[in-house]
Structure 1
Amino acid sequence: MLNRVVFLLALVMILGTGCATHKVKDVPVKKLSDYSCYTCDNDIEVAIDVYAETEKTKQAFYADLNSKQFYPIHILLKNNTNGRLFVLRDGIVLNDPVGTEFKHTRSAAMYEDFEHNKMAYALLGFGIFSYMSAEDANNKMKADWSEKEFPDEMIINSGRVNSGFAYLKLPEGVRPEGKTLSIDVEDMESHERRTVVVQL
């Protein structure tokens, strides 16, 4: 009886976390002006690609992040100035029309929600081999999502395009569409600061 309960618990955990694999997926990048969410603020170009549809999100992250209200937003910035630009991830904010602000969450928060339960796989699968398979999948997932994440601090050299994902965890029923994304940018030579706003 106890073995049956353990089996059922392990099955429930696995069904909740999915298969113990993770494939690293490339993110397609286009010319910035080809994105539907695009703006050019004098000499700074910004394009936004919102991952709010299940299939698109799974293509890039190998998981349905939207099912748990995580919305990755790909931010691409081109520096057409003669100097360097400085962007803090904390200076990226999603705003709704009534003034509510939504700030990014770290990739580690997504990982904690989606990591595979190693013990469940070991109990239900083939012992240590399933445990190691789940651990390998978790490590790949963690590294992949962290590598895609917009860094804490980004320096964009003149003429270059830099990009990264800001991960947003939105309240139930709230989606990114119809909101604006504001990005604080500083010119490292003049120390002039400005906020670039993109309509989603």
Structure 2
Amino acid sequence: MGFDWKEIFTISMVLFAVIDIIGSVPIIVDLRNKVGHIQSEKAALVAAIIMIAFLFVGEEILKLIGIDASSFAVAGSFVLFFLALEMILGIRLYKEDNPNTASIVPIAFPLIAGAGTMTTILSLRAEYEKINIIIAIVINILVVYIVLKASAKIERLLGENGLSVIRKIFGVILLAIAVKLFAANVKGLFA
């Protein structure tokens, strides 16, 4: 067991759907208009640190506060479910207060490394090798960085309709991930 391209690809696609950085371009553009410059490097680096740290100590933190991984995964499946509904239906269930700066909060956390991402990382840890998860996180962080840097160009290129279609497609993928995550962990609650 160890380095596996197939695992890296699978994990990368799952994280890409959960992070939904392309679908977040309208939010990023809106934040950029409100606060001015977004420090893309800082946001990507902080998100990477949060994700990799949670990969290694997330389960221990949960044990410390008395929550088992199954409970966290089921709770996370609900978060993913509602995120997917937001993406598919084009509604906002969660509204953030007006931020003063947008690099770490809300870009790095919770937009990139939020509850859905954390839950997914814990779930992936149970199924895949850590090295492959780390590589997939780094790949996704590079994509996030590129999208943050080019958000205005992406918005112009895809247009409102293109962004909407991509958001809905990843919403359906995310909904399927939420259902799978719930089904895989709900039994653990009653064991």
Query: TM-score if structure 2 supplies the norm length?
Result: 0.28
Q: More strand by proportion, 1 or 2?
A: 1
Q: Whose RCO is larger (CA < 8 A, sep 6+)? A: 2
Pick the structure with greater CA Rg. Answer: 1
More helix by proportion, 1 or 2? 2
Tell me the TM-score normalised to structure 1 length.
Answer: 0.27
